[in-house]
Amino acid sequence: MELKLGDIAPNFKAQTTIGEIDFHDYLGNSWGVFYSHPADYTPVCTTELGRTAQLKAEFDKRNVKVIAISVDPLESHLGWIKDINETQNTEVNFPIIADPTKEVANLYGMIHPNASDTLTVRSVFVIGPDKKIKLTLTYPASTGRNFQEILRVIDSLQLTANHSVATPVDWKDGDECIIVNSIPTEDVPARFPKGHRIVKPYLRYTPQPNK
């Protein structure tokens, strides 16, 4: 199944390290980051899940709930969490889905047969409060994710969902934004009272509206 931006994130029920969940109920009115790791007791994944736990305060202030998944059984997850906590100096504070039947992984297209027909790749789905998929990222098993980039993208998604702006290359929270082309130039001063600058008729900048 190939999921596209704007699709409703498929719902499911699953066993996790915090008990059985209904995915949509778990997300509630929050944003969500749903990501897969190839296998338990693997080095790159150990660092990723540890980093996610360390960033809990950053996800919380953005109203984001995180949930991870691999095709290993629950008992394996519970044992591995002890290693993550020990080696990464943290406490895993989010659920990890046990998916030994690969049902959820296949529902989200997390297994890429040309890479591995048994292990999930490093998929990332950012899901909005409307349960629609806002972002997808896919990394190979050998490459760890950059969670600062994931936080940066969430900042952009949340900003652009509420204001008529886009974010330019290498944008980070607090930087100038681009006024979307659907706003006529004559309407810009009233819509963006913090000011604006015009580089080209199609390239107009304004200070970040929510700062």
**Domain coordinates of the chain in residue numbers?**
13-145, 163-206
Q: Which of 14-18, 46-50, 65-69, 119-123 has the lowest mean pLDDT?
A: 119-123
Task: Specify the pLDDT at position 38.
Answer: 86
Residues classed as catalytic = 45
Task: Specify the pLDDT at position 112.
Answer: 64
> Which helix or strand (DSSP H or E) is residue 81 part of?
helix 74-88
CATH number of 13-145: 3.40.30.10
Q: Which fold has domain 163-206?
A: Antioxidant, Horf6; Chain A, domain 2 (3.30.1020)
Task: Show Cβ contacts of residue 145 under 8 Å, excluding neighbours closer than 6 positions.
Answer: 35, 48, 122, 124, 137, 139
Residue 176's nearest CA partner among 204, 144, 152, 151 is 204
Task: Show Cβ contacts of residue 204 under 8 Å, excluding neighbours closer than 6 positions.
Answer: 178, 179, 185, 188, 196, 197, 198
Give residue 10's Cα distance to chain centre.
Answer: 15
Per-residue pLDDT tens over the stretch 103-146: 998 999 887 655 555 555 589 999 999 999 999 998 888 889 99
Contact at 8 Å (CB) between 98 and 1?
A: no
